[in-house]
Structure 1
Amino acid sequence: MTPDWIACDWGTSNLRLWAMKDGAPVGERRSDRGMGRLDGPQAFEDALIEAAGDWAAPPVTVVACGMVGARQGWIEAPYIPVPAKPSASGLVRAPTRTPGLSVHIVPGMSQADPADVMRGEETQIAGHLALHRNWDGVLCLPGTHTKWAHVSVDEVVSFQTYMTGEMFAVLGQHSVLRHSLTDGWDDAAFEAGLEQGFDRPERLANRLFSLRAESLLSDPAPGAARARLSGLLIGAEIASAKPYWLGQRVAVLGDGVQADLYLRALAVQSVPVERSDATRATLAGLAAAHAALTA
């Protein structure tokens, strides 16, 4: 199969490719050779060709988003300062050795005050807006670094980032809490953590140690501490982001369990919330970037 072009989402841990033909994906391939597993910019081209296989037969155009455009990526794609339309212009061409291979990277977005940046999420936002015309409101994009973006008139007006996912991983693997987090899940514990995190976010550090103390003094259900830790962190995040989502149209742009948790957490606060498919949005955003490239 010879695709018209290749869509690429290149993160820190993984690489996802889609063969695009007649405006639609006709195949998908994945690799664990994310930015964090590559030894410098010179390694990206080989990783792409290996993952693409026969799709990479020249001539071929690749449109990529994500950490491939970071300072530690293939080539740095400068940030577009907000307010601005995401992925509207400014694609950066990566240097290539392979004849007939053309790689174009979508720029990220930046905010000066308070300082913030995003890479990859701007493409999902662009895709969401392409799929939902005239959509205004606040998008929540769960992830290692969760984004909350205020969108109006097809522009990202402002955004803010929470390291909730990374904090959960660091606390669970490298803090004293690692001795208390067992496998499994407890819905009641998650909802209790949500309530505590939302109602008293200033006591988060104290509540975190209580997880350890409770595991020493009682016999919590399997997975209860893990679920409550997740609830505490997400609850505190949603409390902090309340000025963003209060009174706004809200959508969670994400897939899988993590998106489910944010949907539940917002529902607990009686926030009317929509769900937007992250993969579909990524493809729509990359398609929009490709259309701008070829216009």
Structure 2
Amino acid sequence: MSVWALLGRTPSGVRGFRMDGAQLLEEVAASESGASLALLVKDGPVVRIGDGDAEALPVAVLPGDGISLSNLEQKSPPDVISGWVRLWVAGALASKPNWAGVIVVTHGDVTHWLQISADEVVSVQSVITQRLLSALGGADRLDASALADSMSQPERLAAHLRKAGVTGDAAAATGHLMGVELAATRPYWLGQEVIVISEVPGLHMQALEHQAVPCTACHPQDMLAPGLAALAQSLGYVD
């Protein structure tokens, strides 16, 4: 039996998984790394998410050795991607070997547009549209005309948002913000297949579908089991 564990910090504390090779045995969440998590690490190696030095892009989605699923970093433009995102991406790619395209991952209030090729993260463009939507009271649907307006005239975003605020049109505000995001990330989605990993993927799916971009939605929780199995394989924990 190849027993091992994975531990990682979350905004609410620590989350851990006890594995037998590629099979998930147990999952525990705790406010701190205490007795409940100690049960997960009583034997076998422990892999920690986010520990160690960040790995520079381009780099493989999963490490081939070591005891850390470290964060990723990009020098230009400067960016950092959580090890949790690596795990979710690995889950999305588990059934797509050598897939090439773009994976859009929302982690907290930051969205990463990741260029994927040959099981590597090649580059990233990240945005804080979700943070702006929360601050401005965005809607769960977007206005298609506003989306198109801000894609073609992103420099008018502040004026567009003022108009939407005066008229109380939350869908227009959402459309304008998503339009600017698509304008900024055009090199990533144009002519690509896109996978959206988000707890609430609706806005990205709507925006991409308006551009006739082939896209699929995934929930981060659903990516954990296949991601953990892929990590076990990558680290040699599968007999």
Settle same-fold status: TM greater than 0.5: yes
Aligned to 2:227, what secondary structure does the other structure show? helix
- Say whether residues 1:48 and 2:33 are aligned partners: yes
User: Aligned partners of 2:227 and 2:126: how far apart in 1?
Assistant: 20
User: Aligned partners of 2:62 and 2:21: how far apart in 1?
Assistant: 21
Amino acid at match of 1:152: S
Flag the structure with larger Rg.
1
The CA deviation string for residues 62-112 of structure 1, in whole angstroms up to 9 with x for no partner, is 3332xxx2xxxxxx4212112221222464xxxxxxxxxxxx431122222
More helix by share: 1
Shift of 1:261: 1.8
- Count of residue pairs the alignment pairs up: 234
Aligned to 1:133, what secondary structure does the other structure show? coil
Q: Which residue of 1 aligns with 2:81?
A: 118
Q: Which residue of 1 aligns with 2:72?
A: 109
Shift of 1:277: 4.1
User: Aligned partners of 1:90 and 1:4: how far apart in 2?
Assistant: 16
- In structure 2, do the counterparts of structure 1 residues 186 and 115 end up closer, same or farther at CA, with 3 Å as the change threshold? closer
Q: Counterparts of 1:274-289 in structure 2 under 5 Å?
A: 274-289=216-231
- In structure 2, do the counterparts of structure 1 residues 270 and 57 end up closer, same or farther at CA, with 3 Å as the change threshold? closer
The CA deviation string for residues 153-203 of structure 1, in whole angstroms up to 9 with x for no partner, is 12111111111122223x24xxxxxxxx49xx574x544543343332221
Identity %: 28
Q: Counterparts of 1:1-295 in structure 2 under 5 Å?
A: 4-13=3-12, 15-21=14-20, 23-31=22-30, 33=31, 47-52=32-37, 55-56=39-40, 58-59=42-43, 61-65=45-49, 69=50, 76-89=51-64, 91=66, 104-119=67-82, 120-143=84-107, 144-169=109-134, 171-172=135-136, 181=137, 187=141, 190-215=143-168, 224-225=169-170, 227-254=171-198, 256-257=199-200, 259-294=201-236
User: Aligned partners of 1:199 and 1:85: how far apart in 2?
Assistant: 35
Give the alignment's Cα RMSD to 1 decimal. Answer: 2.9
Amino acid at match of 2:93: L
User: Aligned partners of 1:27 and 1:154: how far apart in 2?
Assistant: 27
Shift of 1:137: 0.9
Aligned to 1:274, what secondary structure does the other structure show? strand
Amino acid at match of 2:133: F
Gaps of 5+ in 2: none
Gaps of 5+ in 1: 34-46, 70-75, 92-103, 173-180, 216-223
